[in-house]
Amino acid sequence: MTTDIRNGQLFEGTRLAYFPNNTERFDFTFNGTTKEIEARMGDIPALKMAAPDMDGLAIIAHEAKATLLTYSDWQTFVGFTVHKDFMQAVADHRDNGYPQDKVRERYSRYSKALIAVGDGHGDDKALGLETELVAVNNPYTLGADQQMEVALTYQQEPRRDVQVEVYERTASKDVTVTKYRTDDAGHVQFPVTAGMTYLVDAVVLRPAPDVETTLTSPHWESLWASLTFAVPE
- Please tell me the predicted confidence (pLDDT) of residue 36: 87
Tell me the mean pLDDT per 10 residues along the chain, length 233: 63 66 89 83 67 92 94 96 96 96 96 95 97 98 93 98 97 94 98 96 97 93 97 92
- Please tell me the predicted confidence (pLDDT) of residue 9: 61
pLDDT digits (tens, 9 = 90+) for 69-87: 999 999 999 999 999 999 9
- Please tell me the predicted confidence (pLDDT) of residue 45: 64
- Please tell me the predicted confidence (pLDDT) of residue 50: 73
- Please tell me the predicted confidence (pLDDT) of residue 10: 56
Collapsed DSSP state (helix, strand, coil) of residue 230: strand
Instruction: Report CA 227 to chain centroid distance, whole Å.
Output: 5
**119: nearest Cα among 58, 171, 61, 37:** 58
Rounded CA separation 139/145 (Å): 12
DSSP tally for the chain: helices H, then strands E:
2, 17
- Please tell me the predicted confidence (pLDDT) of residue 84: 97
- CATH topology for the 2-71+102-230 domain: Immunoglobulin-like (2.60.40)
Model's pTM, two decimal places? 0.90
pLDDT digits (tens, 9 = 90+) for 41-73: 666 666 666 788 899 999 999 999 999 999 999
Domain boundaries, the chain: 2-71+102-230
